[in-house]
Each structure stands twice: as structure tokens, then as C-alpha cells.
């Protein structure tokens, strides 16, 4: 099984930006933990992060030979119909992850335009969201 982990705008600054909201652990450290878990589960993982909407869209379309995508689209979650269309068009099952609980924050974050075309969404469990999404792909048939 091959899973791609896609992180969107500003997620590269995780660990230093607003640590009280997003945690004090860097994206590299989170990815290393995902990698370790993937090895235990016998899953191949590939990591991608970009601050650019178009690059994320290209990466989603380039994942059609993957079994799943775990995506944290960052703020694109709330307004990018283009990312949503790429997810539904590419046809690769996606699980949406958010470090913070988007429903406990500002009103504009309560709406995800991407979640309706994903298998599910995990919000507010920090780095564990990625790990749980990986386990779901590996273990939920
Ligand atoms: C986020 C939540 C978004 O609202 C925000 O714009 C982000 C990160 C999260 O992981 O909690 O950049 O996706």
C-alpha cells in the first residue's frame, strides 16, 4: 500500500508558528513519526508540502497510482474549490487532517469545502491525526 501525505500552505512552519494552536513539534518530526508508524504497518509513505495551491493540485493529480492521500490543505480547506475538484477528479481516497480543531476556532474555519469529497476528516488531535488516518487506510477495509 502506498499513501501520500500532502500538507498545504504554512504547514512547513509547524512547530514555530502559533505553537499554542498547532503544537511545538516541527513538520519534519511529525513526518518522521508517520514514517516510523508506516514501517510498522508495512505501508510506503511519500511526503509533499507546498505553499502554492497549483503545486498541491498537480500533486493530487500525480497521486493516481497511490492507494490514498492524507491531506492537510491548511487555509485552502476553507475556500479552494480547485483543490476540492482535484480531490474528487483524481479519484484517490483522501482523509483530511487538521492539527487544530477547526470547529472551535474562527467562524471562517468552520467550513471545509474539501471534506465533503474526502472519506473522512480528523480535526483537533494534533500530529496524531496523521497517524490515525494512516492506520485507517491500512486497517479499515
Ligand atoms: C489547519 C487549520 C486551518 O484553518 C489553517 O489555515 C491551517 C492549519 C490545521 O492543521 O489546523 O493552516 O489546517
What are the extents of the domains in the chain?
A: 2-139
Write down the number of H helices and E strands in the chain: 5, 5
Give the position, in ligand 1's atom list, of the atom nearest the Cα of 21.
Answer: 11
Q: Phi/psi class of residue 5: alpha, beta or left (left: φ > 0; alpha: ψ in -120 to 50)?
A: beta
pLDDT in tens, 74-125: 999 999 999 999 999 999 999 999 999 999 999 999 999 999 999 999 999 9
Distance, CA of 56 to CA of 82 (rounded, Å): 10
- Strand (E) or helix (H) holding 61: helix 53-61
Domain spanning 2-139: which CATH class is it, in words?
Answer: alpha beta
From 109, 124, 128, the mutation candidate for ligand 1 (largest count of ligand atoms within 8 A of CB) is 109
Pocket of ligand 1 (CB under 6 A): 10, 72, 74-75, 77, 98-100, 102, 109
Catalytic residues: 22, 98
**CA of 100 relative to ligand 1 center, distance in Å:** 7
Which tens digits make up the pLDDT trace of 2-61?
A: 999 999 999 999 999 999 999 999 999 999 999 999 999 999 999 999 999 999 999 999
Amino acid at each position: 500500500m502506498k499513501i501520500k501525505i500532502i500538507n498545504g500552505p504554512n504547514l512547513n512552519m509547524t512547530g514555530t508558528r502559533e505553537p499554542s494552536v498547532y503544537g511545538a513539534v516541527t513538520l519534519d518530526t511529525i513526518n518522521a513519526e508517520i514514517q516510523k508508524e508506516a514501517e510498522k504497518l508495512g505501508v510506503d509513505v511519500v511526503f509533499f508540502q507546498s505553499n502554492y495551491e497549483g503545486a498541491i493540485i498537480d500533486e493530487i493529480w500525480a497521486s493516481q497510482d497511490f492507494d490514498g492521500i492524507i491531506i492537510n490543505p491548511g487555509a485552502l480547506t476553507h475556500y479552494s474549490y480547485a483543490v476540492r475538484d482535484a480531490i474528487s477528479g483524481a479519484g484517490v481516497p483522501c482523509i483530511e487532517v487538521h492539527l487544530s480543531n477547526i470547529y472551535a476556532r474562527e467562524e471562517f474555519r468552520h467550513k471545509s469545502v474539501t471534506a465533503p469529497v474526502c472519506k473522512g476528516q480528523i480535526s483537533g488531535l494534533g500530529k496524531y491525526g496523521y497517524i490515525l488516518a494512516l492506520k485507517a487506510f491500512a486497517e479499515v477495509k
